[in-house]
């Protein structure tokens, strides 16, 4: 299947679900991205700052770039001028740094708070309880140049569908809990970024609003 046909497949299965596609183009060439772009698709995800910056510079201006990977505070300034959404905000310190660079660029940067939902200990993200406490204490409330749009999570990489489903349910429940909490105006909770090539069907069933798909669109990475 061509990249354009794969994009079309996802557009079709997502129609009417309230879930959108982020095409994860990490390690893939600008030419591969242009194949999707020429088919009318403009929302791409990258996980490395340098690669994201270079692709932003060489590709059309109207592409919506999503930073989906772990972000180091010292690299925020490289993407702050143009990034559309940062999916993996996993500390107050990182959120503060993004806020600072958003202000310097005269922008409001849209962010998602990453929650550690997987069994594997290697994955980044807030612990759910810890995040609830931080929100309750208003620890994000002064970050006026952020729009905190929701949560992001990665399920355990496994063939155990029950485990994946329960991890996505955990994220959804946490989302609903935070959505009902009193917060300042920089919270606009509406997105749950969950689901990858391996588990997007389950993620959509469990209420994902953004699936991040790489290999099922662009083919396996080297
Ligand atoms: C690479 C990556 C994806 C896409 O993974 P696929 O299995 O290729 O669909 C999604 N989210 C994050 C955070 C990634 O790093």
For residue range 87-117, what is the model confidence (pLDDT) as tens digits? 999 999 999 999 999 999 999 999 999 999 9
User: Where are the chain's structural domains?
Assistant: 3-217
pLDDT(123) > 70: no
With a CB cutoff of 8 Å and minimum separation 6, the contacts of 185 are: none
207 lines ligand 1 (CB under 6 A): no
- Model confidence pLDDT, tens digit, residues 180-196: 999 999 999 999 999 99
User: Distance from the CA of 166 to the center of ligand 1, in angstroms?
Assistant: 19
- Model confidence pLDDT, tens digit, residues 26-71: 999 999 999 999 999 999 999 999 999 999 999 999 999 999 999 9
pLDDT at 19: 98
Please give the helix or strand (H or E) that residue 115 lies within, else none: strand 109-115
Question: Angle at Cα 20 formed by Cα 121 and Cα 79, nearest 5°?
Answer: 65
User: Distance from the CA of 214 to the center of ligand 1, in angstroms?
Assistant: 6
pTM: 0.97
* Three-state secondary-structure class, residue 163: helix
Nearest-angstrom CA–CA distance, 191 and 119: 23
The CA-atom distances, in angstroms, between 219 and each of 24, 45, 48, 169, 213 are 11, 15, 19, 28, 10
pLDDT at 218: 97
The CATH number of the domain covering residues in 3-217: 3.20.20.10
Decide: 92 and 140 in contact? Cβ < 8 Å.
yes
pLDDT at 165: 98
The CA-atom distances, in angstroms, between 150 and each of 36, 53, 176 are 27, 24, 10
**Closest residue by CA, ligand 1 atom 6:** 214
Q: Ligand 1 pocket: which of 196, 210, 211 to mutate (most atoms <8 Å of CB)?
A: 196
């Amino acid at each position: 299947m061509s990249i354009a046909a794969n994009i079309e497949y996802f557009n079709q299965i997502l129609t009417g679900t309230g879930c959108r596609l982020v095409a994860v183009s990490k390690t893939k060439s600008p030419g591969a991205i242009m194949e999707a772009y020429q088919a009318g698709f403009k929302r791409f995800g990258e996980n490395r700052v340098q690669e994201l910056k270079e692709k932003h510079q060489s590709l059309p201006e109207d592409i919506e770039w999503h930073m989906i990977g772990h972000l180091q505070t010292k690299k925020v300034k490289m993407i702050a001028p143009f990034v559309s959404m940062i999916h993996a905000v996993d500390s107050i310190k990182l959120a503060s740094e993004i806020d600072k660079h958003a202000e310097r660029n005269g922008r409001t940067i849209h962010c998602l708070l990453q929650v550690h939902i997987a069994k594997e200990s290697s994955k980044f993200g807030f612990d759910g309880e810890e995040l609830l406490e931080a929100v309750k204490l208003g620890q994000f409330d002064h970050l006026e140049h952020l729009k905190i749009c929701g949560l992001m999570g990665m399920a355990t990489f496994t063939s155990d569908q029950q485990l994946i489903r329960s991890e996505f349910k955990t994220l959804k429940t946490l989302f609903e809990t935070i959505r009902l909490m009193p917060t300042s105006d920089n919270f606009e909770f509406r997105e749950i970024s969950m689901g990858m090539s391996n588990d997007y069907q389950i993620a959509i069933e469990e209420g994902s609003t953004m699936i991040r798909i790489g290999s099922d669109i662009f083919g396996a990475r080297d």
